[in-house]
Amino acid sequence: MKKEITFTLNNEEVIVEVDPKWTLIHLLREVLELTGTKEGCGVGECGACTVIVDGEAVNSCLYPVMEVEGKTVATIEGVALPDGTLHPIQQAFIENNGVQCGYCTSGMIMSAKALLDKKSDPTEDEIRTGISGNICRCTGYVQIVESIQLAAERMKK
């Protein structure tokens, strides 16, 4: 039985029929074709699927689709400005090698964004905790943490 839900996705209202059994990632990737959100495990253990719901970073592979009703969802596709200008976090990832294979990157950036939106001046420990649910096999996290620090600095200005 499909149900209709309404929510805000990347600043636009979306009305869509969903199967209540779906997870949010299924809706995003398979129905709305927003494939920037990645599925690295499907069971809440890698963070590749991280999106922001009402300001909180969540694993969209676990998030029941019915629960987004009335909420505000942000995915990687909505992070840059509509004219394509990169968000400072994206820019920093490009400049400081925060991205290698890029598979973890969407999730990393969403976790980082959720953090910086709440706290403009996080400590290194807070950054590391903020992305501790996001596994990256390529970078050893060093340049990801540095990228987020760089973005935070620039966003303050």
Partner 1 sequence: MENLLHVGKNVPRTAEIDKVTGHAVYIDEYKRPGMLYGKILYSQYAHARIKSINTEKAKKLPGVRAVITGYDIPDVRVGFLGDQTVLKRDIVRQFRDEVAAVAAITPEIAEDALKLIEVEYEPLPAIFDPIEAMKPDAALVHETDARGRPLRSNILPLPWKFSAGDVDKAREESTYVVKHDVTTPWINQCCMGTSGCVAEFDSNNNLTYCAQTNVIFGAKQRIATYLRNIGLKGKKIRVLNPVVGGSFGTKLDTDIYEFICIQLALKTRKPVKIRFTREEEFAALPPRQASRFTIEQGCDKEGKLTFRKVDAILDNGAYTSWGATTPSVMMLPISSMYRVPNVSFQATCVYTNNIYSQAMRGYGNPQAAFAVETSMDLLAEKAGIDPAEFRLINRNHPGDVTPMGLKITTCPLEECINTVKEKIKWDEKRGKKNGRGVGMASLIHVAGGARVYLSDGTGIRIKVNEDGEVDVLSGSTDQGQGSPTVIAQIIAEATGFRPEDVNIVFGDTALGLWDAGTHASRHTFVAGNAAVRAGELIKRQILELAVQHIPKLVKRSLKQQQKKNPDFVPPELDYTLIDSPDKLELKDRMIYPREAPDHPYFKTEVGKILTSGLHVGVGESKAVAAEVFWDPPTQMLNAEMKGNYSCTYAFGTAGVEVEVDKQTGEVKILKLVSAHDVGRAINPTLVKGQIYGAAYIGIGYGLTERVQVVDGKVVNANFRDYKILTANDNIPVEAVIIEDPDPAGPYGAKGIGEPGLVPTAPAIANAIYDAVGVWIKDLPITPEKVLAALKAQGQ
Cβ-based nearer residue to partner 1, 69 or 95 = 95
Note whether 133 binds partner 1 by CB under 8 A.
yes
Note whether 23 binds partner 1 by CB under 8 A.
no
| CA dist., res. 28 & res. 77, Å (int) | 11
Phi, psi (rounded to 5 degrees) for 50: -60, 130
Phi, psi (rounded to 5 degrees) for 142: -55, -55
| CA dist., res. 92 & res. 81, Å (int) | 15
The binder of partner 1 chosen from 32, 40, 149, 155 (CB under 8 A): 40
Question: How far, CA to CA in Å, does 150 sit from each of 21, 41, 94, 124?
Answer: 40, 29, 11, 11
Q: In this chain, which stretch among 76-84, 95-103, 121-129, 149-157 interacts with ligand FES, using CB under 6 A?
A: 95-103
Residues that bind partner 1 (CB under 8 A): 34-43, 45-46, 48, 75-77, 79-80, 86, 90, 93-97, 99-106, 109, 125, 127-129, 131-145
Residues that bind ligand FES (CB under 6 A): 39-42, 44-49, 59, 61, 99-105, 136-139
